[in-house]
């Protein structure tokens, strides 16, 4: 089905180059044709915001060395700067496109946009060729050298060339860099450097710092001088700056933990590092907190957890994690993380019936505890009388997983012997709460 083009978007309009006789007549002699060696003036009639009424919001004029026939061509073309704000529909608009090269053919096309971003179709395509310049001598090639360097920057040096080879003063110098050698085929796609000093007379020494570089890679730099008619100097072989050897290690991983998972399998976890050149992590194991630590993985692992299935049948092991970058620099290890392997079948703290029970006043009582290998390894045991009144607090600190016997001497917190009767014994460890009872006899 054919659809009508919306009538509420900016109207398609015609653009005229000022060299056209028709334009001079249209301008009623108030303008003069201007096509120079490096610029051209274009004029058009302002469209409206809604077709031919109202006022548009902005213009977008572009130039190219090839015809602009589609919106894709338009998007790839170079924007012309200095465009005026749209006037009311019917007003005469103009702009001078500068920075052009002599004896070069350009194509121009214009689009207009309203306040909500609706764009017009492409204008008519204007083709023109800039005037021949009497200045046929371009600046001499600019040759770069390395003045100094840091881990993130290089300082380039050169001596200024002239406007015409080695005479006069050039208009400006443009420096670019890339991760590959720069020549005529890829000059336009190389990274532009900003902040070049204005050229002086030929032979003037210049310095330029290029910062924010990834110095882990080889880089290439090139420069070109421009004269007053936009002739660019020739492009000598690009200047190579070798990468800097990376000697800075990554940060030590954070958030590291190690826990018994099943049997004697231990899961080690940590938070990811943020270094862009990170290669991965190494996991270490030892049988004492002071080491020695042996590395468990041959090549760096890129995940942030590791399952150790080779832990031997021993009481406890210690783990550490380090980070390593692409240059082989390794961080310090995390603080040692202890994991008990005994008590692997114990999932949580537990308390059994004390013994002997009953027991006579004046004798000790043992409360059997079960300590899990996954911890926590601290607990509090509170003794209460039959009415629930506090009698004694017993603390269990940093105990070894497995069976543990806690001794109570039958005295209260003040050191006095407790009377015969029924007593409650509460175990509190982590989220575990367990009650057992015992009887003291005369």
Q: How far apart are CA 373 and CA 343, in angstroms?
A: 5
Q: Nearest 5°: phi and psi at 60? A: -140, 105
Check residue 5 and give its pLDDT.
Answer: 43
pLDDT tens sequence across 378-437? 999 999 999 999 999 999 998 888 888 899 999 999 999 999 999 999 999 988 999 999
Q: Which residues pair with 394 in a beta bridge?
A: 381
- Report residue 16's pLDDT band, with 50, 70 and 90 as the boundaries: very low
- Which pairing describes strands 421-429 and 145-149: parallel, antiparallel, or unpaired? unpaired
CA atoms within 13 A on the CB side of 437: 7
Check residue 166 and give its pLDDT.
Answer: 92
Q: Among 3.30.70.980, 3.40.50.620, 2.60.120.380, 2.60.40.10, name the CATH number for the domain at 257-340.
A: 2.60.40.10
Check residue 340 and give its pLDDT.
Answer: 84
CATH architecture for residues 350-441: Sandwich (2.60)
Check residue 29 and give its pLDDT.
Answer: 28
Check residue 20 and give its pLDDT.
Answer: 30
- Between residues 88 and 345, the one the model is more confident about: 88
CA atoms within 13 A on the CB side of 241: 27
Check residue 25 and give its pLDDT.
Answer: 22
Give domain limits for the chain.
Answer: 15-129, 145-241, 257-340, 350-441
| Average confidence (pLDDT) over 34-49 | 85
Q: Which residues pair with 428 in a beta bridge?
A: 380, 433
Instruction: Assess contact for 107 and 125: CB atoms under 8 A.
Output: yes
- Report residue 10's pLDDT band, with 50, 70 and 90 as the boundaries: low
- Of the listed ranges 147-151, 153-157, 195-199, 293-297, the least confidently predicted one is 147-151
Check residue 206 and give its pLDDT.
Answer: 96
pLDDT at position 55 over 90: no
Instruction: Assess contact for 301 and 283: CB atoms under 8 A.
Output: yes
Q: In what order do the strands lie in the sheet with 105-113?
A: 78-79, 58-64, 105-113, 126-129
pLDDT at position 332 over 50: yes
CATH topology of domain 15-129: Immunoglobulin-like (2.60.40)
Beta-strand runs (E) in 312-364: 316-325, 337-340, 350-351, 359-360
Give, as one character, the DSSP assignment of residue 167: B
pTM surpassing 0.85? Answer: no
């Amino acid at each position: 089905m054919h659809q009508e083009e919306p009538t509420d978007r900016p109207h398609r309009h015609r653009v005229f180059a000022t060299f056209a006789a028709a334009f001079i007549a249209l301008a009623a002699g108030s303008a003069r044709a201007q096509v120079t060696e490096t610029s051209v003036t274009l004029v058009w009639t302002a469209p409206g915001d809604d077709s031919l009424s109202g006022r548009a919001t902005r213009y977008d004029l572009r130039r190219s060395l090839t015809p602009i026939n589609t919106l894709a061509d338009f998007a790839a073309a170079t924007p012309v700067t200095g465009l005026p704000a749209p006037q009311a529909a019917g007003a005469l608009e103009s702009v001078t496109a500068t920075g052009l090269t002599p004896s070069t053919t350009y194509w121009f096309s214009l689009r207009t946009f309203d306040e909500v971003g609706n764009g017009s179709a492409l204008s008519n395509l204007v083709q023109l060729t800039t005037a021949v310049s009497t200045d046929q001598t371009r600046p001499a090639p600019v040759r770069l050298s390395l003045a100094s360097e840091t881990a993130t920057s290089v300082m380039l040096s050169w001596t200024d060339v002239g406007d015409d080879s080695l005479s006069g003063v050039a208009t400006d110098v443009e420096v670019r860099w890339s991760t590959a050698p720069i020549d005529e085929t890829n000059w336009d796609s190389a990274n532009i450097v900003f902040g070049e000093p204005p050229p002086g007379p030929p032979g003037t020494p210049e310095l330029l710092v290029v910062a924010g570089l990834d110095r882990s890679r080889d880089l290439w730099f090139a420069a070109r001088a421009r004269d007053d008619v936009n002739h660019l100097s020739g492009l000598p072989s690009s200047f190579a700056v070798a990468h800097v050897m990376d000697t800075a290690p990554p940060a030590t991983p954070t958030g590291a933990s190690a826990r018994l998972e099943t049997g004697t399998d231990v899961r080690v976890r940590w938070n990811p590092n943020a270094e862009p050149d990170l290669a991965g992590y190494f996991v270490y194991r030892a049988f004492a907190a002071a080491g020695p630590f042996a590395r468990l993985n041959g090549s760096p692992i890129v995940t942030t957890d590791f399952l150790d299935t080779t832990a031997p049948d021993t009481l406890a092991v210690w783990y550490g994690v380090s980070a390593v970058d692409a240059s082989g620099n390794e961080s310090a290890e995390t603080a040692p993380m202890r994991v008990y392997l005994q008590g692997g079948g114990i999932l949580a703290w537990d308390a059994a019936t004390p013994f002997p029970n009953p027991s006579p006043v004046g004798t000790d009582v043992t409360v059997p505890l079960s300590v899990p290998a996954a911890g926590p390894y601290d607990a509090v045991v509170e003794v209460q009388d039959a009415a629930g009144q506090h009698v004694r607090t017993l603390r269990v600190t940093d105990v070894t997983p497995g069976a543990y016997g806690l001794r109570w001497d039958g005295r209260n917190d003040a050191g006095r012997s407790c009377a015969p009767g029924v007593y409650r014994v509460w175990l509190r460890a982590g989220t575990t709460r367990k009650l057992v009872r015992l009887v003291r006899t005369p």
